[in-house]
Amino acid sequence: MLHQESLVESTQREQLARLESFDMPAFSQASPDRSCIHCTPVRCQRLLFIAAFCSTILAICLCQDSVAQEAGENAVSSSPVVNSTDFTAGKIREAHRKSHQGFSSDELILQDELREAFLQELDIAPNDESQFDRQRAALRALLQLRKRGDLNVPTTRRSSESTESINTAIPTAEIAIRTVLDRHDAMIDDVLCDPRMRNELQEEAERLSKGISPETVRRAVLRLRKSRRLRPELVLRVADWDRTVTTHPMKELDLESLPNTPGVYLFRDSTGYLYIGEAIRLRDRIGDHLRGSHNAGLASILGDDASNPVTLELHAFPKDSPAKKLTVRRAYESELIRSRHPRFNLQP
């Protein structure tokens, strides 16, 4: 294991050196009212750069996956969740049988009433912060049994929530879940099982859509996963150089409180992502947008966000991190543009 981890670190250093040796010409994002002045060679160079970057990080991801897989296998074999006297497979199955009311294990995770009944069968108080770790462990154990096909409990009921309601929540749910996943470097199951991250998910959703149902948000997240719209972004798996992810409602923005370090910024509202950019000094760049964004489409939204409030999301890095390199920030920015489809950016 130590040898594999050192190999990952060595590979990261080698590939980062290769990345920093690349030279990509400057490019800009167009707003809808701007004529298309981007010449084909520049767009092609940009695409080649992204492809080169992704190839350099592939080896890192493979090394990380091998380490994670070994760690996961070890965790399963010695997991305190399934093997402990508290959460034996039999107890988890019995608690599920008594509480699921005919719904699937996914619905038990999603619905507050079902989840609380399941936890209470295991003598876990759902709202007791001192038992949050036990709650997460019990829910993860339930999902583990379901994935292994060991629940042996028939599903006879489905949620009555309409497809239209879930689809309407998808833009908000996508932004909220990506924000929490980025902040904690977590998986979707982690967010749904951990009450702290589950609360964060709802807080981020509420920033975009006041009063949105927590269960609708979670159900939309699962639909996003099943449709493969939440595929891992390779850049974010590598670029974890003490990154901090924060969100700021634009109506309450205190510019001076923002970090003036390298990073990437994202403007979004309840319809989805609006614009993604990079900066060597985030605070100064956001100030430029506030004084009059060069992007006419974004400027019109920022100038009138009363009906659909805008939120700023920052991915900030330390000043001495690899993100101080323009090429690194642009690779990170381009990957987010590619996967998140902001309205006022050109797609890579």
Burial (Cβ within 10 Å: 0-12, 13-18, ≥19) of residue 215: middle
**Which residue intervals of the chain are DSSP H helices?**
2-21, 40-77, 80-83, 89-99, 105-110, 112-121, 132-147, 163-184, 188-193, 195-208, 214-226, 234-238, 282-292, 296-303, 326-340
Range 79-96 average pLDDT: 72
Question: Whose CA is closest to 183, among 240, 258, 223, 248?
Answer: 240
Asked if residue 261 lies in contact with residue 319, where contact means CB atoms within 8 angstroms, the answer is yes
User: What does the DSSP 8-state code read for residue 281?
Assistant: S
Terminal CA-CA length for the chain: 37
Average pLDDT over residues 265-292: 94
Q: What is the total residue count of the chain?
A: 348
- On whether the CB atoms of residues 124 and 134 are closer than 8 A, the answer is yes
CATH topology of domain 241-340: GIY-YIG endonuclease (3.40.1440)
pLDDT tens digits, 135-163: 999 999 999 999 999 988 889 999 999 99
Q: How far apart are CA 4 and CA 1, in angstroms?
A: 5
- Rg over alpha carbons for the chain, rounded to the nearest Å, is 22
Report which of residues 252 and 76 the model is more confident about.
Answer: 252
Out of 47-61, 125-139, 151-165, which region has the weakest mean confidence (pLDDT)? 47-61
Task: Give the model's pLDDT for residue 185.
Answer: 86
Q: Do 41 and 27 contact (CB within 8 A), yes or no?
A: no
Q: What is the pLDDT of residue 298?
A: 85
Distances (CA, A) of 43 to 14, 86, 314, 334, 348: 27, 58, 26, 12, 8
Convert the pLDDT of each residue in 97-107 to its tens digit.
999 999 999 99
pTM score of the predicted model: 0.72
CA 110 and chain centroid, separation: 18
Q: What is the pLDDT of residue 68?
A: 41
Rounded to 5 degrees, φ, ψ at 9 are -60, -45
Query: 25: pLDDT confidence band, cut at 50, 70 and 90?
Result: very low
Per-residue pLDDT tens over the stretch 225-271: 999 888 777 666 666 678 999 999 998 999 999 999 999 999 999 99
* Of 121, 44, 134, 47, residue with least CA distance to 84: 134
Q: Are the CB atoms for 145 and 189 separated by under 8 Å?
A: no
What's the mean pLDDT in 173-183? 94
Letter string b/e over residues 229-241, b meaning 16 or more CB atoms within 10 A of that residue's CB: ebeebbbbebbeb
Q: In the chain, where are the structural domains located?
A: 1-11+43-78, 81-147, 163-226, 241-340
Q: What is the DSSP string of 106-162?
A: HHHHH-HHHHHHHHHHTT--TT-GGGHHHHHHHHHHHHHHHHTT-------------
